[in-house]
Chains A and B, each alone.
Chain A
Amino acid sequence: MTKLKKLIDKCELLAFDLNFKKAKKWKLENDNRVLVGYMPIYFPREIIHAAAGLPVGILGVGDRKQIIVGDAYYQSYICHIPRGIIEMALSKNFDDFDGFLFPSICDVIRNLSGMFQMSGVGKFAKYMDFPQDFNSHIGGKFYIQEMQSVLDKIKKINNVDVTNEHLNRSIKLYNINRRLIEKIYDIRQEFPWRLAAIDVYHILRAGMVIPVEEHNEMLELVIAEISNDIGEPMDNIRVVVTSSFCEQPPVSLIRTIEQSGCYIIDDDFMLGSRWIQGDVEEDTDNPLLALSEAYIKKSTFSSSVYDVGNPKGVRLIALAKKRKTDGIIFAAPSFCDPALLDSPLYQKACERENVRYINFQYHENIGQFKVIKEQVGAFSDSIKLWEI
């Protein structure tokens, strides 16, 4: 087995360990360590890291756990992801977690924070209100207060004083992490056959549940491996997959897209890990301000951000062009208001710019891909036949 294959297998296990064994083991190694779960999509993980914590991404159960009690908490017309999360909470998968963060993306996640509070899971459950005002002295200031309130909650648990030095160190590590991830995307842009999209998915998702230091080492290794001329190119079209930023598509869906003739050159599956475009300023005497400025000025486009003045359709098309893709696949979870209400706006932008697209919906545990396979296959064929 090659080094790369071994690593990918390890990442897959980590990514889908719904008992978070690795994270829990990490916590046991030191008394003041804390585990803080966070929901999609973005959270400034740097502050948890600086407070002797491990931020653990909670992305739902996918098709890996049968929902028994979770369905009793949600009506049929609500998306799937919160059912699995509440199921995990009630099945004690989050034992040893100290707290939970619910970044503002939609009312389902928002109200899930209340459900955690009511169930008494963890020592805190905080809805994190990301500012929609993008002025540093208004929204930025509010964001700093929000981050500080998270730090205060953690300090109450582990009594660790977070210094600027700690924060700067964490910022550096996450800057490296983002750079390495972008490097992988850049290499794949030229040579997508060197690493399958599903492998990228496992590698990035593993990074949500392990210490960033370890993930950076893994990413270095991946880059070293895929810098070699490996794999065989196929006659695939090149696409961006978008709208899958919260409830995750089942991995078989990602595989189906690639097997139906599309290289996924860019996507928003792990949007949180790639949220900040570029580096957060390092070595400042006000690192929270640096994180806030990065959020205010360097956030990617997203359904969770009010986009007036900087239309997301334009930004998506710019991304599709930068990555030299042939089309866009809108794959959104069923009943996901943020993704689905954006779809017509994105699609009108595609039509204006003559960018080819298809769209379909999924939920995290669908098991049938025949229709999607045919749709993606037809999309790929039509582009190959007429446009390449």
Chain B
Amino acid sequence: MSQTVKKERSMILQKEMIGGLFKELGTAKELGKKVVYTFVPGNLSELIRSFDMLPVYPEINALQSGMRKKSRAYIREAEKWGHSEDVCTYVKCDVGMMLKGNIGPTGEKVPEPDLLLLSYTGCFTFLKWFENLERMYPGVPVALLHTPYQENGEITNEMTEYMVKQLEEDVIPKMELVSGKKFNREKLKTILQHSADTEDLIVKIFDTTKNRPSPIDAYFAGVYYIGPINIGFRGTPQATEYYQELYNEIQERIRLGLGPVTPEGEMEEERFRLVVEGPPNWTSFREFWKLFYDMGAVIVSSSYTRVGGVYKNGFRHNPDRLLESLAEYCMGCYTNMNLKQRVEMLEEEIKDYHADGFLVNSIKSCNSFSAGQLMMMRSLEDKLGVPVGFIESDLVDPRYFSYSNIKNRLESFFQMLEQRKLIMNS
């Protein structure tokens, strides 16, 4: 492992973007900017921006709290307030943070919402989460966008029509009311064009893992790469610039034959290529990642980086179909796809990216991901004969991260991959 970790320009750009957003949020109330609380999957960042409002994503606050070791106290606070130990810890972390004064990840107070936009995609718990928020911010208008599930593995015209009507008759009027601005189609068109450009770049970036060695880790580094689009920058020129820069840097890595960058420098030998299903653990993120790169395991594709949108299948925000494409975006997110579609997508990725194995990180909190994962895993094993591995952790509850357990399981999994390689080579 090379010991130098050089900050690439893309990293600096990303840091500036995120820092800037939190700064803007910090002064939002003084500057009279309206703040919208909403969720990452199926987020309507473009629409929010078209009204010059600022988004706050409770899940992002929760994951940041997890990474900064604050989630344990927040979860405890929410449990004291009455929440069960058994429920999604993202919700509890967020509720706890609010009960503790709503101090955000950067140490600044997160401004209170002017609008609660429940765009409810791929997870039923979002609905419950916002009912809790609504009680905490009585009187704040709530706009609801119900995203139908792709139960039959398709998006029908009726589903799109249902969503467009909700946008036209509930979401947009509420945004007009809160922002005091009229809905501006032309402005949204321009924003969506930027989104489409960004999405092209994202597909190209995640496709670079086809190379050997893979120049990036599509899970551990992937979660950083999707950061800007998941926190509301999709549709901005800054996002396009960031992704272009990132893409160029990755191209350079490919030219030089380099592997992924890890927190401890460049990974020198790529031994195992994996596809991973499920969100990562945030409370011990570095330790967790290290378990992989120490073994020369690189993640060539992960479903988690698709929660905020699936673009590989050709979906792009479309300025000529404004509201329809917002609707289709919401319906297309990974956790809004049925299990069959999810398996097909993973199958394709295992093949396309020449993965040696498939691993599930099953998250205690998240039924949206976890329920059915064991069947998906078995189905992939049967279909492709690919070795499969299974570990369990949680997003932000450190009580459910057992380092030794995960290490043991991963070691057996890597041994299995090693043996298989030997057999295949002979």
Considering only residues 21-35 of chain A, those with a C-beta below 8 Å from chain B are none
Closest A residue by C-beta to B162: A142
Q: Assess A114 versus B339: contact at CB under 8 Å? Given A127-B151, A132-B127.
A: yes
Q: B164-180, CB under 8 A of A: which get 1 and which 0?
A: 01100110000000000
Assembled-state Cα–Cα distance A115/B374 (Å): 10
A186 lies within 8 A of chain B by Cβ: no
Report if A164 contacts B (CB, 8 A): no
We find that the number of chain A residues with CB closer than 8 angstroms to chain B is 54
Q: Mark A323-341, 1 if CB is under 8 A from B, else 0.
A: 0000000001011111011
Q: Establish whether residues B370 and A78, one from each chain, have CB atoms under 8 Å apart when the complex forms.
A: yes
Interface residues of B in 59-117 (CB under 8 A from A): 81-84, 86-88, 91
Is the pair A142, B144 in contact by a Cβ cutoff of 8 Å? no
- B152 CB, min distance to chain A CBs, angstroms: 7
Q: Contact at A345–B371, with CB atoms within 8 Å?
A: no
Find out whether the CB atom of B81 lies under 8 angstroms from the CB atom of A114.
Answer: no
Pair B370/A126 contact, Cβ less than 8 Å: no
Q: Tell me if B384 counts as interface (CB < 8 A to partner A).
A: no
Type the 1/0 row for B188-201, where 1 means its CB is closer than 8 Å to any CB of A: 00000000000000
Which residues from chain B sit less than 8 Å from chain A, CB to CB?
81-84, 86-88, 91, 118, 120, 123-125, 127-132, 134-135, 142, 144, 146, 148-149, 151-152, 158-159, 162, 165-166, 169-170, 338-340, 342-343, 362, 364, 367-368, 370-375, 379, 392
- The 9 nearest A-B residue pairs measured at CB: A114-B339, A344-B82, A127-B151, A341-B128, A111-B372, A132-B146, A111-B371, A142-B162, A340-B84
Q: Which of A108, A128, A342, A348 has the most CB of B within 10 A?
A: A108
- B132 pairs with A334, CB closer than 8 A: no
Q: Does A361 contact B (CB under 8 A)?
A: yes
- Which residue of chain A is the closest to B83 with respect to CB atoms? A344
> Assuming the A-B contacts A73-B374, A75-B362, A110-B124, are A341 and B146 also in contact, with contact meaning beta carbons closer than 8 angstroms in the complex?
no
**Beta-carbon contact of B368 and A117 below 8 Å:** no
Residue in B closest to A334 when the chains form the complex, CB atoms = B86
Q: Report the Cα distance A124→B246, complex, angstroms.
A: 45
Which chain A residues border B123 with CB–CB below 8 Å? 107
Considering only residues 108-127 of chain A, those with a C-beta below 8 Å from chain B are 108, 110-115, 117-119, 126-127
Beyond contacts A107-B125, A107-B367: 20 other A-B pairs, Cβ-Cβ < 8 A, are: A78-B367, A106-B125, A110-B124, A110-B371, A112-B371, A115-B339, A115-B372, A117-B340, A119-B375, A128-B151, A131-B146, A131-B162, A132-B146, A306-B127, A332-B84, A340-B86, A341-B87, A341-B88, A341-B91, A348-B82
How far, in whole Å, are A127 and B338 apart by their CA atoms in the complex?
10
Chain B positions within 8 Å of A74 at CB level: 371, 374
Q: How far is the CA of A344 from the CA of B124 in the complex (A)?
A: 17
- The majority secondary structure among interface residues of chain A is helix
What chain B residues lie within 8 Å of A131 (beta carbons)?
146, 162
Which residues in A have their C-beta under 8 angstroms from that of B127?
132, 306
Hey, which chain B residues are within 8 Å of A139, CB to CB? Answer: 146, 162
B342 partner residues in chain A, CB cutoff 8 A = 114
Q: A: which residues have CB within 8 A of B?
A: 72-75, 77-78, 82, 104-108, 110-115, 117-119, 126-129, 131-133, 135, 137-139, 141-142, 145, 303, 306-308, 332, 334-338, 340-345, 347-348, 361
Q: Closest approach, in angstroms, between the C-beta of A60 and any C-beta of chain B?
A: 15
Given the interface pairs A133-B166, A338-B124, the reply to whether A111 lies near B151 with Cβ below 8 Å is: no
Contact B371 A107 (CB under 8 A): yes
Q: Which residue of B118, B367, B368 has the most chain A CB atoms within 10 A of its CB atom?
A: B367
